[in-house]
């Protein structure tokens, strides 16, 4: 049987105890009649993932997809735990609803706690922050307490204090700016067009998305045909302007693309046993193939095809 693997971190791969190669963010392919496969991260920050191929179903740490002629494996890596207690940072703020403490610490993982005289909450973190900062923003009916937790990227959490404590916002960013009750988040996407996504959020009586600007760093018309198709679906994922990819016939239907395609999460080239003109869309618990027809360099037709219909 043919297997494809896609890893979020570079790994060494062992099959039935023997080393068979490396896997990373691009497709890795191997054949097997079954047995135990192990993904061993090359970074000490992550735990390894083991999976019995014969079981043929997703588990907590492995997403398993039937591609219609082969299978796709996407390991879900857990972060290493840190057993010794370490206080990373702690602040106490005078909120409108009394003194509120926020603490970031490591012990059997990294955690963030927020507490006052009437409430308490704790959030597990997926990484050990190198830098931490906190900020309090007041509004008419509630305050918002921000935590900015940085490593290679920054994870931003915002808790409402009413006086109850509730997590209302959580997002990763490559850059940010908090100005009063307005937060700007900048995300750099590693996709075909190298998008930069800039979102602005307002924290008042509720959290509102004020604006979203998606800027490509590459010219989409300079892409080769197969990458042009991939970029089209990535444009939908980042909330950009997919109408730029469409022919005059399809352009009026751009607003309905998301509902037509559904909530896909990953865009990939097709496996080698499917026609090369297709695009593979990975959803939470299934895959589908998209057949894209180009005319004069623009998308003039789009259909979804089940994996077993090809």
Q: Residue 9 in 3-state DSSP?
A: coil
Rounded average pLDDT over 244-269: 95
In angstroms, rounded to a whole number, what is the distance separating the alpha carbons of residues 195 and 113? 34
pTM of the model: 0.88
Residue range 111-125: mean pLDDT, rounded: 94
Q: Which two tokens stand for residue 196?
A: 């930069």
Supply the DSSP symbol for 70: S
Exposed / middle / buried, residue 39 (Cβ in 10 Å: 0-12, 13-18, 19+) = buried
Which 8-state DSSP code applies to residue 246? Answer: B
Burial label, 110 (beta-carbon count in 10 A; 0-12, 13-18, 19+): buried
Residue 82: pLDDT band (50, 70, 90) is: low
Please give the average per-residue pLDDT across 194-210, as a whole number.
95
**Structure confidence at residue 198 as a pLDDT band (50, 70, 90):** very high
- Measured between alpha carbons, how far is 258 from 135 in angstroms, rounded to an integer? 36
Q: Where are the alpha helices (DSSP H) in the chain?
A: 225-237, 257-261
Q: Record the tokens describing residue 7, joined without a space.
A: 């890893």
């Amino acid at each position: 049987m043919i297997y494809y693997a896609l890893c979020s971190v570079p790994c060494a791969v062992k099959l039935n105890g023997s080393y068979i190669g490396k896997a990373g963010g691009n497709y890795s392919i191997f054949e097997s009649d079954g047995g135990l496969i192990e993904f061993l991260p090359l970074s000490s920050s992550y735990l390894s993932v083991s999976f019995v191929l014969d079981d043929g179903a997703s588990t907590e740490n492995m997403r398993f997809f039937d591609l219609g002629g082969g299978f796709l494996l996407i390991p879900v890596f857990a972060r290493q735990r840190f057993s010794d207690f370490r206080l990373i940072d702690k602040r106490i703020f005078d909120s409108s609803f009394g003194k509120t403490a926020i603490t970031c610490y490591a012990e059997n993982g990294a955690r963030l706690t927020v507490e006052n005289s009437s409430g308490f909450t704790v959030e597990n973190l997926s990484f050990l922050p190198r830098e931490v900062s906190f900020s309090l923003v007041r509004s008419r009916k509630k305050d918002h307490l921000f935590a900015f937790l940085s490593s290679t990227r920054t994870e931003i959490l915002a808790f409402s204090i009413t006086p109850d404590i509730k997590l209302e916002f959580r997002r990763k960013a490559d850059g940010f700016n908090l100005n009063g009750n307005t937060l700007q988040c900048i995300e750099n996407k590693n996709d075909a067009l190298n998008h930069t996504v800039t979102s602005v959020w307002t924290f008042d009586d509720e959290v509102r998305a004020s604006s979203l600007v998606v800027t490509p760093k590459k010219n989409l018309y300079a892409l080769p045909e197969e990458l042009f198709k991939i970029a089209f679906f990535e444009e939908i994922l980042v909330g950009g302007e997919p109408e730029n990819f469409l022919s005059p016939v399809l352009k009026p239907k751009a607003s309905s693309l998301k509902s037509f395609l559904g909530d896909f999460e990953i865009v990939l080239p097709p496996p080698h046993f499917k026609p090369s003109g297709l695009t593979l869309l990975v959803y939470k618990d299934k895959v589908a193939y998209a057949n894209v027809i180009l005319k004069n360099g623009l998308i003039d037709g789009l259909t979804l095809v089940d994996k077993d219909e090809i």
